[in-house]
């Protein structure tokens, strides 16, 4: 019998983004986009990415649909996924990337007023009577890149060996001066809570490429230095549907929350239970004709598959010895940064779109030298191995790798200054980060700061610019990847952002 079927009101995750796109274009959602004629409906973006052609070329001729699609952003995407390593607490650019040899002669001199320029400083150092210059106590060495070489800190030897694949940006700046707003800004494009995080945007925009794993995965490593807080808001979906929330992949027994069957329940038991649940759901569907129920059956099957695919994912016994060695000894300790880097590669391989790694502990207000040494020791080999591994597998070219803290640190010392020990306060005016792969020019440095690494003197890049650039390489016009909420079309880049074309390959 053919009961009238009403369509799903909710979004369904399916294996095939095109199919998904069509399914998503339910009447209700479609009406929504039509009434507001806002264009950038979700899924359509996924469609374009998959087809690798402008979606407008899709043979949909109806006036309204063409209109809908014409407004989508379309560049041929250079990257299909993102691995974003966030260094929570904000690493010091002066000790890692922004080489300032001239500072050695200025040890303990006051930072000139002409440089500081009355800038806002945090209340942690605003009471200091002087701002003595603290040169980095670490040596810098020239690493080979695709230009004349790049000076990098002795603390990152493995990363330095990959410098030819990396684009260092030394002219980042941000609006935030404290961690919470700073990280929120980096993750969501706004200092205020409530916006979707970058990963959620990508889940929404790119859709899923693996029906057995979440689209947006988050991993956290506890640090050695002074740790700041993380919050679920950093990987929340904000006003996007909560399916786009980051899914935490954890070390230990609950890798994905609630994934493990309870003790006493085997995989066969779950299958038998699931068969019954599906029978009940099928019965419900036949009675109600609610497509949502059919979707639920599919979601339950996916959950069942995830129970298999996630343990397979996290079980690294199939990794050859030389690969494990490349990541270093930490790789065998779940939850370390190295282990998470390897997981990131495995996730990327399996089609996960956005992989977010947090490394905590960079907030070095005092004892910076010893803290940063440990922090670098924890990340250097793993992150370099990740780049190498991706490269060897031909995946670096379509994977965007981002390494960033939420702001930089001051050239002047916080607390007691000695030749060997110092602390640095927050510094939003300039800092360094790096990007690799995914259509970014490899082996270059971009942007320049003054002699004190205090102000940008050339090619400033804002957080919005960075977002716009990454989105561009992922195939999106950042002004058009939007979502309507409270009557307004929201974007990751708010109303700002410019693509930094100089760093595009």
Partner 1 sequence: MTNARGNLPLLTAFIGAAVVPAQGADEIRFGRDIRPILSDRCFLCHGPDREQQQAGLRLDSFTDATAERRNGYALIAGDLDASLLWHRINALDLDDVMPPLDSGKPQLSDHEKDLIRRWIEQGGAYEDHWAFEPLTSPEPPTVDDPWIRNDIDRFVLQRLQHEGLLPNADADAATLARRTYLDVTGLPPTTAELDVFLSDTEPGAYERLIDRLLTEEPYVTRHAERMAVPWMDLARYADTSGIHMDAGRTIWPYRDWVLNALRDNMPYDQFVIEQLAGDLLPERTNEQMVASGFNRCHVTTDEGGAINDEALFEYAVERTNTLGTVFLGLTVNCAQCHDHKFDPVSQDDYYALLAFFNNNEEPGLYRQAPDPYRALEPNYTIKTQADAARMAELEAHVTALTAERDKPDPDEAEAMATFEQSLQDDGWNWTTPAVITAVSSSGSTLEIQADGSVLATSPAPTNDDYTIVLGTERTDLRAIVLDVLQHTSLPHGRVGRGSNGNAIMSGISAEIVSHADPTQRTDINLIWAWADHEQPNEDFRVVNALTPNNGRMWALNAHVLPDDRVAMFLADEDFGYEGGSDLIITMNFHSIYAGHSLGNVRFHVSSASEDALATLPTAHTNWYIVGPFQPEGRDQNAYDVAFGPEEAPLDFAKTYEDQKWRYAPGVIEGQNVRLAETTGAEYVAREFFAPTQQSVDLSLGSDDGIQVYLNGALVHENRVNRGVAPDQDRLTIELQPGRNTYVTKIVNTGGPGGIYYSEAVPEDELAPDMLAWVLPEPSVTDAFADRARAAWRTSHSPRYLELTEGITAAQGDIDTLNTSLPITMVMQERSEVRPSYVMMRGAYDAPDMERKVARGVPGVLGHIVSEGTPTRTDLARWLVGDENPLTARVTVNRFWAQLFGQGLVDTVEDFGLQGTWPSHPELLDWLAVNFRDNGWNVRDTMRTMLLSSTYRQTSNGNADQDATLYARFPRQRLSAEQIRDQALHVSGLLIEHFGGPSVKPYQPEGLWREVAMPSSNTRIFEQGMGDALWRRSVYTYWKRASPPPAMLTLDAPTREYCSAQRINTNTPLQALVLWNDVQFVEAARATAARVLLETPEEQRLVDLYRRCTGATPSVGLQHAMADTLAKFETRYSGDPEAAAALCGVGDAPIPEGMNTDQLAAWTMLANAVLSSDAAIVKD
Q: Restricting to residues 392-431, name those near partner 1 by CB under 8 A.
A: 413-417, 423, 425-426
Q: Restricting to residues 292-311, name those near partner 1 by CB under 8 A.
A: 292-293, 295-296, 299-300, 302-304, 306-307
Q: In angstroms, how far is CA 201 from the centroid of its own chain?
A: 11
432-442 b/e (C-beta count within 10 Å ≥ 16 → b): bbbbbbbbbbb
* Residue 497 interacting with partner 1 (CB under 8 A): no
Choices 78-86, 250-258, 387-395, 445-453; region in contact with partner 1 by CB under 8 A:
250-258
* Residue 231 interacting with partner 1 (CB under 8 A): yes
Q: How near is the Cβ of 223 to partner 1 at its closest, in Å?
A: 10
Q: Restricting to residues 24-43, name those near partner 1 by CB under 8 A.
A: 25, 27-28, 30-31, 34-39
Q: Restricting to residues 181-210, name those near partner 1 by CB under 8 A.
A: 192-194
Integer Cα distance of 1 and 468 in angstroms: 51
Q: Cβ distance 46 to 20 under 8 Å?
A: yes
* Residue 67 interacting with partner 1 (CB under 8 A): yes
* Residue 61 interacting with partner 1 (CB under 8 A): yes
* Residue 56 interacting with partner 1 (CB under 8 A): no
Q: How many C-beta atoms surround the C-beta of residue 338 within 10 A?
A: 26
Q: How many C-beta atoms surround the C-beta of residue 193 within 10 A?
A: 14
Pick from 105, 114, 127, 148 the residue near partner 1 by CB under 8 A: 127
Q: Which is nearer to partner 1, 71 or 469 (CB)?
A: 71
Pick from 76, 104, 144, 232 the residue near partner 1 by CB under 8 A: 232
Q: Cβ distance 380 to 159 under 8 Å?
A: yes
* Residue 224 interacting with partner 1 (CB under 8 A): yes
* Residue 243 interacting with partner 1 (CB under 8 A): yes
Integer Cα distance of 182 and 192 in angstroms: 10
Q: Cβ distance 77 to 474 under 8 Å?
A: yes
Integer Cα distance of 190 and 245 in angstroms: 17
Integer Cα distance of 405 and 47 in angstroms: 33
Q: Restricting to residues 448-487, name those near partner 1 by CB under 8 A.
A: 479-480, 486-487
Pick from 75, 112, 290, 391 the residue near partner 1 by CB under 8 A: 290
* Residue 331 interacting with partner 1 (CB under 8 A): no
Choices 23-31, 75-83, 314-322, 386-394; region in contact with partner 1 by CB under 8 A:
23-31
* Residue 379 interacting with partner 1 (CB under 8 A): no
* Residue 283 interacting with partner 1 (CB under 8 A): yes
66 vs 63, 121, 222, 397, CA distance in Å?
5, 51, 49, 32
Three-state DSSP class for 402? strand
Size of the site for partner 1 (CB under 8 A): 129
* Residue 230 interacting with partner 1 (CB under 8 A): yes
Which residues are CB-contacts of 320 (< 8 A; sequence separation ≥ 6)?
Answer: none
Q: Cβ distance 197 to 491 under 8 Å?
A: no
């Amino acid at each position: 019998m053919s009961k009238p079927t009403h369509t799903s009101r909710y979004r369904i995750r399916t294996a095939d983004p095109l199919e998904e796109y069509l399914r998503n274009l339910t009447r209700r959602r479609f009406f929504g986009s039509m009434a507001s004629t806002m264009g950038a409906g979700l899924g359509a973006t996924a469609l374009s990415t998959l087809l690798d052609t402008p979606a407008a070329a899709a043979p949909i001729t109806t006036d309204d649909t063409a209109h809908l699609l014409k407004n989508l952003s379309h560049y041929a995407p250079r990257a299909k996924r993102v691995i974003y390593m966030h260094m929570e607490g904000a690493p010091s650019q002066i000790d890692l990337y922004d080489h300032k040899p001239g500072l050695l002669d200025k040890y303990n001199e006051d930072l000139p007023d002409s440089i500081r320029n009355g800038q806002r400083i945090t209340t942690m150092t605003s009471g200091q009577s002087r701002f003595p210059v603290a040169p980095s106590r670490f040596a810098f060495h020239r690493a080979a890149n695709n230009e004349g070489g790049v000076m990098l800190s002795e603390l990152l030897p493995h990363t330095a060996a990959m410098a030819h694949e990396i684009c260092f940006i030394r002219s980042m700046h941000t609006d935030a001066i404290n961690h919470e707003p700073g990280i929120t800004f980096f993750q969501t494009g706004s200092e205020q809570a409530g916006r979707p995080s970058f990963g959620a945007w990508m889940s929404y925009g790119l859709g899923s490429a693996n029906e057995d794993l979440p689209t947006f995965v988050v991993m956290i490593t506890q640090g050695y230095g002074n740790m700041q807080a993380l919050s679920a808001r950093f990987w929340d979906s904000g006003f996007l549907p909560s399916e786009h929330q980051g899914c935490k992949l954890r070390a230990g027994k609950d890798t994905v929350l609630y994934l493990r069957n309870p003790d006493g329940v085997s995989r066969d038991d779950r299958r038998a239970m699931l068969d019954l649940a599906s029978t009940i759901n099928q019965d419900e569907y036949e009675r109600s004709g609610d497509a949502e129920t059919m979707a639920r059956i599919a979601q339950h099957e996916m959950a069942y598959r995830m129970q298999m695919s996630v343990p397979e994912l996290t079980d690294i016994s199939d990794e050859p010895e030389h690969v494990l060695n490349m990541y270093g000894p930490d790789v065998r300790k779940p939850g370390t940064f190295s282990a998470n880097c390897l997981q990131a590669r495995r996730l990327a391989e399996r089609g996960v779109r956005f992989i977010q790694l947090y490394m905590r502990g960079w907030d070095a207000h005092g004892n910076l030298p010893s803290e940063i040494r440990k922090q670098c020791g924890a990340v250097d080999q793993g992150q370099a191995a990740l780049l190498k591994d991706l490269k060897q597998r031909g995946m670096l070219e379509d994977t965007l790798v981002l390494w960033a803290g939420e702001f930089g640190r001051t050239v002047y010392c916080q607390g007691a200054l000695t030749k060997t020990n110092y602390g640095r306060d927050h510094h939003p005016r300039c800092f360094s980060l790096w990007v690799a792969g995914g259509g970014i020019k490899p082996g270059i440095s971009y942007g320049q700061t003054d002699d004190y690494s205090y102000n940008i003197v050339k090619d400033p890049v804002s957080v919005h610019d960075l977002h716009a650039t990454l989105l561009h390489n992922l195939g999106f016009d950042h002004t058009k990847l939007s979502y309507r909420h409270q009557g307004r079309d929201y974007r990751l880049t708010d109303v700002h952002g410019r693509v930094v074309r100089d760093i595009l390959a």
